[in-house]
Chains A and B, each alone.
Chain A
Amino acid sequence: MENKTSCKIIDYTHIVKEEKGMNERIKKLRKQSIEASESISKERAELLTEFYKNTNENSIPIKRAKAFEYILNNKTICVNDGELIVGERGERPKATPTYPEITLHSLEDLRVLNDREKVSYKVSDGVFELYEKEIIPYWSGKTVRDMIFEEVDTEWIDAFEAGVFTEFMEQRAPGHTVLDGKIYKKGMKDFIKDIDDALSALDYENDKDALDKKEELLAMRIAAGAVINFARRYADKLEALSDKEKDKKRKEELLKLAQICRWVPENAPRTFHEALQYYWFVHLGVVTELNGWDSFSPGKLDKHLYTFYKKDIEEGRLTKDEAKELLECLWIKFHNHPAPPKIGVTAQESSTYTDFAQINIGGIKEDGSNNVNELSYLLLDVIDEMRLVQPNASIHVSKKNPDKFIKRAIEILKTSFGQPSIFNSDAVVQELLRQGKDIVDARCGGTSGCVESGAFGKENYMLTGYFNIPKVLEITINNGKDPVSGKTIGLKTGEFEDFETFDDFFEAFKKQMYHFIDIKIKGNLVIERICAKYMPAVFLSVLIDDCIKKGKDYNAGGARYNSSYIQGVGTGTATDSLAAIKQVVFEDKLFSKSLFKEMLAKNFEGFEKERQILLNKTHKYGNDDDYADSLMRQVFEEFFSYIDNRKTYRGGQFRINMLPTTVHVYFGSVLGASADGRAAFEPISEGISPVQGMDKNGPTAAVKSASKMDHIKTGGTLLNMKFTPDLLKDEKGVNAVVKLVRTYFTLDGHHIQFNVVDAAMLKDAQKHPENYGDLIVRVAGYSDYFAHLNEQLQNEIIKRTEHEAV
């Protein structure tokens, strides 16, 4: 069971059994949520199609708003037994809707979803029937996905099919969006007032866009009202349930919940409980409107909720335990909402139920001061007790935060639960400032999805696709041809045999990379226009500054800041391959260029010794070795400077980040043998982590190598590190990790994640040592590489790990 994922997709099957700290209610809810099976909910598709068939509305934003309203007015109201936060997107927990206006599942797609071994969704006969009779006939040829594939160039399609890059928007809407603190101060009623103010301020005579703005604002108004009404429907249902309820305590609870749903989201919340319920209604609105990537996130919960928490406790309305219980109820809500079902390449690149909602804890406040408070620690307790794959939780560490905060997080990590991940709050601020954001907006920002930095509540920062850097290298070696398909899809930059110096070769690689970046960006512009025109997110626009003020949709440039990201993938593989080519082919001339090309073409068949040389005798990224690390930097700088600051359709800028989710597996599967000794179709390196098993100088060296990348120029990087629980056993071990984190962050590292391995992973390491060369274990008074130990010793360590697992 190698953990192939790098963006915190946790396999929790083995920890489900544990229950710690939770009260009976939470235990029951958690169990229900874990045991519920993922299924396709037909409701949204059915209601949407019904609406579209019967409407005469011509304005696209208003049509979208009315469809949204129609869905919320007619969908099932689901209240689960015992819960204290209400609201489901589907008819029941884990019933997941489809979004046929964006991507239309064929009957075959549905069959695959139902039958596939991993990440399957149950599809009932009713859904098949509905799709066959209603959904497919109506939406066929009209979806955003159809429009995209219609409008992009053939060179885009060729590169996409070869796996040079992926495209986020081919099945889902722009996402990664996070909320700031505004909903805790304003009710939907207040937002409607803002909309009305904006409407009355429109200048129809002098502003040629005034009528478009009017349509958009009216649409926002409908959407805001729809969510108020949706909450009222919950209030009605809760009252009805309360009437029938026999248990006196639950009867009162239901009544109290009804009162809360009558108050929020219409009005600003007054209590901790209202604040949480408010967020959840807003969350449901956003994820029902569109299937935006990475769900939707509340951002810095400890910051937003602290005043409510403190006030409620001071005034005797809430105890610490009750606050924890409510937060745990919210956690279960997130867990009840799997990612919208993906298909094809997108399913391969992101194969998980996790929808990447991310809760940020700690960091700094808008005035730059320490944001770690009592609630930050309570949230960490919640993570520790809940152990659910979603929401993802992260701690944000600033130089202003105490070590105690990091240590509490390590306590949780140590139990082999992959959360929380650790972010450098100060670097995030610097990244956002570099992009030209206001200092307060930057400090109110954080990370979402995997590791993506953004100005919460004020930015549309969308990820547009992963970019396969090693693939570009392969195409360069083959003079523009993709050796896997045999098709020429790149520039003819010269035969490999004809390059006289490494610099000449690198120059060709650079040109090839520029070429594919240009194709990607050209495609992005087409897609952004389609999203802006045909896929307004009118409810989300209510929530993100300055859409109301500008009268402009979130997807059309209404946000204060607009960034489109391209994610570089394969830093380690590309660097090690370039280092090998430089050293072995151009400097030592150990192999002739034609022989070298032949080895790669034959996937090293008949060249095992040569492959071993490439694996073992060349410079590798991740070892604090400047030979390799400087090449990493060179590739990074080229990638960065050719993309950063280019203009997007929405009036924003293109940016880069370096993260892979699980795409490194897919990208590897379309890539032949690489110059670093990697066999064809094996995964490439993930994030900015070294090639699996190639960092052999320990964690400080790996961290140093990674920090040679200029993280501040990115909008997020991802570094993974594997540890055994032994290394974190005592205070000394924990302190060492704290120091490791602090130093990486002093060096401007953006993010680090510790995967504390469990016995199952160690057993896998025994079978596949090549994937675990970097795994360090504490042997006795010293530590050593697991792969270096003999079998008997490895077994002993496995036993010990089993024994010590919490």
Chain B
Amino acid sequence: MKGIVFDIKRYSIHDGPGLRTTVFFKGCPLRCIWCHNPESQQRKPKIAWYENRCISCLSCVDSCRFNAVDSKYGININKNCTLCGECIKACPTNALEMIGREYEVSELIEEILKDELFFENGGGVTISGGEPFVQSEFLFEVLDRLKKEQLHTALDTTGYVEWYKLKKSVEYVNLFLYDIKHIDSKKHKKYTSVGNELILENLKKLDDLGAETAVRIPIIPTINDDLENMKKTVEFVDSLKNVASVDLLPFHNMMEDKYRRLKLAFLVGDIEKPKDEKMEELRILFEQAGLKVNIGG
């Protein structure tokens, strides 16, 4: 069984407790306009070009048998591309990179186990994305193996997934990192391309099953940081019983480069990161409801 993973980050300390390895699955049903990992959206791998690393030797162009690489305006990979990877091999400076590659389950587990010793006392593995459930068959095989390895597992999910799948994952997952992006479904749809009904319903059901969650809320100025939305979000989260913490993730636009590399439109360039005072205000709002708050995960 193979799945597509676009990054594996060791020494990860912001995605769950302790020292962790975070595995990023490719593919996502949502299209959040502030997406910090735009490379995660498409399930299919893609070749990205790092302009700052390129020495314009054109080895990539020469290496391609399909005429898929041109150099008219920087390096372009066109639709002829078969993802054979020859251009990447030929590039002496790693200016071309394959975003996403196939991993066998065993290969991925082997990579994760490299840091097994570091996971002791509270650390472990976080599966993130994209939306990991997009590759649900692969996900369950990986989760099953992680459980057999007795590793603490956190799953970072949008919650936009069929309930039976989420339900099944409960027996494998120690902690859900569960996103709430907007409490108003219309706005949710406007900014993420999907409504939030399924997401909120799933979270309630998950909570009823006793699954431990860390609710993660990206704070996007002008989009979801208004007091009304936040108060309603607090109300919703407060109605749940098994929320270990609320992680408020302040928006930043440090991923702009990624958009450029992937030749995607960056729509949130004029949104500024929330002020520290704003984050404090929100912290207090959640804390007043008796919730444990982390800023920045």
Residues of chain A whose beta carbon lies under 8 Å from any beta carbon of chain B: 608-610, 612-613, 615-617, 624, 697-701, 704, 727, 732-733, 735-736, 739-740, 743, 746-747, 776, 779-783, 789-790, 793
Contacts and interface: CB of A to CB of B under 8 A. Distances in A.
Interface in B248-270: 249-250, 252, 254, 256-257
Given A609-B57, A779-B254, A780-B36, 13 more contacts: A609-B59, A610-B92, A616-B93, A624-B114, A697-B10, A700-B10, A700-B114, A736-B19, A739-B120, A747-B117, A776-B11, A781-B250, A783-B11
Contact of B19 (A612, A697, A700, A701): A700
Given A609-B92, A616-B94, A700-B19, A746 B11 contact: no
A740 B14 contact: no
A781 B10 contact: no
Contacts of B19: 700, 736, 739-740
B114 A701 contact: yes
A781 B55 contact: no
B261 to A, nearest CB: 11
B115 interface: yes
Given A739-B121, A740-B118, A789-B254, A700 B14 contact: no
Contacts of A732: 13-14
B195 interface: no
Given A699-B11, A700-B115, A780-B252, A613 B123 contact: no
Interface residues of B, number: 32
Interface in B109-136: 114-115, 117-118, 120-121, 123
Contacts of A780: 36, 249-250, 252, 254, 273, 296
Contacts of B273: 780
B118 A781 contact: no
Most buried by A among B19, B57, B59: B19
B45 interface: no
A699 B12 CA distance: 10
Contacts of B257: 789-790, 793
B57 to A, nearest CB: 5
B297 interface: yes
Contacts of A733: 13
A208 B158 CA distance: 87
Contacts of B14: 732, 781-783
A698 B11 contact: yes
8 contacts: A612-B92, A700-B114, A701-B114, A780-B250, A781-B14, A781-B296, A783-B13, A790-B256
Nearest to A796: B254
Contacts of B254: 779-780, 789, 793
A746 B18 contact: no
Contacts of B252: 779-780
Contacts of A612: 55, 92-93
B65 interface: no
A736 B16 CA distance: 12
A704 B114 contact: yes
A392 to B, nearest CB: 27
Q: Which 7 A-B pairs have the closest CB atoms?
A: A612-B92, A698-B11, A780-B252, A613-B92, A736-B13, A698-B10, A700-B10
A264 B76 CA distance: 79
Contacts of B278: none
Interface of B: 9-14, 18-19, 36, 52, 55, 57, 59, 92-94, 114-115, 117-118, 120-121, 123, 249-250, 252, 254, 256-257, 273, 296-297
Contacts of B120: 739, 743
Contacts of B59: 609
Contacts of A781: 14, 36, 249-250, 296-297
A608 B121 contact: no
Contacts, number: 87
A701 B250 CA distance: 29
Most buried by B among A700, A727, A782, A793: A782
A680 B249 CA distance: 46
A739 B118 contact: yes
Nearest to A779: B254
B92 A616 contact: yes
Most buried by B among A746, A747, A779, A780: A780
Nearest to A776: B11
Most buried by B among A615, A624, A735, A789: A735
A249 B115 CA distance: 60
Nearest to A611: B92
B276 to A, nearest CB: 12
Contacts of B296: 780-781
Contacts of A624: 114
A753 to B, nearest CB: 17
Nearest to B116: A743
Nearest to A732: B13
Contacts of B256: 790
A736 B11 contact: yes
Most buried by B among A613, A735, A739, A793: A739
Nearest to B50: A788
Given A609-B59, A779-B254, A782-B14, A698 B92 contact: no
Contacts of B249: 780-781
Nearest to B22: A782
B114 A739 contact: no
A736 B121 CA distance: 11
Nearest to A791: B52
A19 B80 CA distance: 65
Contacts of B94: 616-617
A782 B36 CA distance: 10
A617 B90 CA distance: 9
Contacts of B250: 780-781
A63 B14 CA distance: 66
A746 B250 CA distance: 37
Contacts of B114: 624, 700-701, 704
A790 B257 CA distance: 7
A745 B296 CA distance: 30
A781 B126 CA distance: 14
Nearest to B37: A782
A699 B21 CA distance: 12
A739 B55 contact: no
A793 B14 CA distance: 19
B98 to A, nearest CB: 14
B258 to A, nearest CB: 10
Given A698-B10, A780-B250, A608 B55 contact: yes
Given A735-B18, A743-B118, A609 B55 contact: yes
Contacts of A699: 10-11
A700 B123 CA distance: 13
A739 B124 CA distance: 12
Given A700-B10, A783-B14, A617 B92 contact: yes
